[in-house]
A = this chain, B = another copy of it.
Amino acid sequence: MTVSYTLDVSTSSFRSFANVLFRWRASLWKSVHKELLLWLFFYMILSCVYRFTLSDWQKEIYEDAVVFAYKYTDFIPLTFMLGFFVSIVVNRWWDMFLHIGWIDNTSLYIATYIEGTDDEGRMIRRNIVRYMSMVQAMIFRDISVTIRRRFPTLDALEAAGFMSAAEKQTLLDVDSPNAKYWVPMKWAFFLVKKARQEGRIKSDQAVQDLMDRLREFRSGLGKLSCYDSVPIPLVYTQVVFLTVRCYFVICLIGRQYINTTRDLDVNSSVDYYVPIMTIIQFIFYVGWMKVAEALLNPFGEDDDDFEVGLTIVDDSISKQPPLVKDVFWAETNPEPLYSAE
């Protein structure tokens, strides 16, 4: 689930900084700790090998390698690559979020424009909303690992109430090699037409508006699907991820303490045993990269990934009915409203 920390930063003070810093879920610490421990482990091994096992001439070779690696870490342009790459990834991530399929506007329009308090009218309204959820569920199944696991087959969608058995069959009967996202959408469009023909929608302008909302909803999901099928070019991702890892593999050697009397451009003249500075660097760079890694597929299973399940099942199914019910069943306008003027 997306982790919100907005309340913690409502003022910029010491406390809010601490609140932001000392968290575990979706935090820097959680995403970095494993790789950091691994890195430290190898660093320590190398360090011990140098101190306790190498002979003098071996040490010289080792020391030359350290100096060599130390000098060359400058050649790797970590900062910029990460800066540009994270910018692109964050933009994509946010745009995806905005097109996650917001059902509310359309629902309000449906409730307002499609009239009739009989079962037929109620069914039309509920079904359009359900069809929208159905498209959303179908698309999310293809995008998100979590949703796919939850609804492995169309039967699972049926069991969850997204579609009836008859609808599922109709869907399967459609003979098309491509994705069938458009099928429930067409059903929704035709229900709008039907409602207009039966006079439940009073004006052609209302039809226009409803079609617009449905199209908007569909286009958003379509864009989501685009983002999923055409990711950031693989080369770019590989270059960035590899650069960061390479940098720290080289640091494994280049940041070792060497105890020598030769005139070398050494890392440090004092032996601190623990490479504090490099650990700090590790946390920063790898943490920054983790931002990109986590957001690359926001429908995955990271802490910062969107809770699409919530949007689908609970929201649309359980939220929509009251929207329709408490006006159409009672058939009265909420008159108490006016008494409080």
How many copies of this kind of chain does the complex include? 5
As a 0/1 sequence over residues 75 to 90 of chain A, the CB contacts with chain B under 8 angstroms (1 = contact) are 1111111011011101
Are B174 and A326 in contact, with the CB atoms below 8 A?
yes
Contacts of A61 in B (CB 8 A): 270
Are A190 and B243 in contact, with the CB atoms below 8 A?
no
A132 to chain B, nearest CB (A): 13
* Chain A contact surface mostly: helix
Are A235 and B77 in contact, with the CB atoms below 8 A?
no
* A156 part of interface (Cβ distance < 8 Å): no
Are B341 and A178 in contact, with the CB atoms below 8 A?
no
Could you list 23 A-B pairs, sorted by A, with CB under 8 Å? A4-B231, A5-B231, A6-B296, A9-B237, A17-B245, A17-B293, A23-B234, A26-B235, A28-B235, A77-B78, A77-B79, A79-B80, A104-B222, A105-B215, A105-B222, A108-B189, A109-B189, A112-B211, A164-B339, A166-B340, A170-B334, A238-B287, A243-B284
Known: A87-B88, A108-B189. 15 other contacts (CB 8 A): A2-B230, A10-B300, A21-B241, A67-B269, A81-B288, A83-B83, A90-B236, A105-B219, A123-B338, A164-B337, A167-B337, A169-B336, A204-B206, A206-B208, A235-B287
